[in-house]
Amino acid sequence: MPRKAAFAPDAAQPSNERSTAARGLRGDPGAIRALAQRWLDAATLRAHALADRWEQLPASFGEAGPVSPTDPAALRREWLRVLRSWASDSPEQLFAIKAGVLMLAGALALLLVVVAAL
């Protein structure tokens, strides 16, 4: 009786591949774009629902017009409008946030270099 190779997949066990080829997305940029759009829409709706539940919506949210809580594109536009308004009102805070992000990125890069050297 021939021995089966240790690395050969068993036909009875289902494959749990998570590659783009397994999902049928390889070579189809439209399908990848649609998947990314679905994820972005879900993340937008979830983030807005959390902000609403925790009562963290800015006072100026919805001033440009009514925003449907079920329309992710309208929610993104309104959040970006509020963000741009806040950034123009407080450039010092925006600079501090950007500087903090750069310092954090530098620390993470240094950590990666140290771990890679081990």
The pLDDT assigned to 28 comes to 80
Q: Are 37 and 7 a contacting pair, CB within 8 Å?
A: no
Within a domain: residue 53? yes
Mean pLDDT for back-to-back runs of 10 residues, the chain (118 residues): 54 55 68 93 96 93 92 95 91 93 97 95
pTM: 0.62
The pLDDT assigned to 30 comes to 87
Number of domains in the chain: 1
Q: Could you list the residue range(s) of the whole structural domain that residue 30 is in?
A: 20-90
Within a domain: residue 60? yes
Within a domain: residue 41? yes
The pLDDT assigned to 12 comes to 54
DSSP line for the chain: -PPPPTTSPPTTSPP---SHHHHT-TT-HHHHHHHHHHHHHHHHHHHHHHHHHTT---TTTTTTS---TT-HHHHHHHHHHHHHHHHHH-HHHHHHHHHHHHHHHHHHHHHHHHHHH-
Within a domain: residue 97? no
Within a domain: residue 117? no
The pLDDT assigned to 113 comes to 96
Within a domain: residue 6? no
Within a domain: residue 13? no
The pLDDT assigned to 1 comes to 52
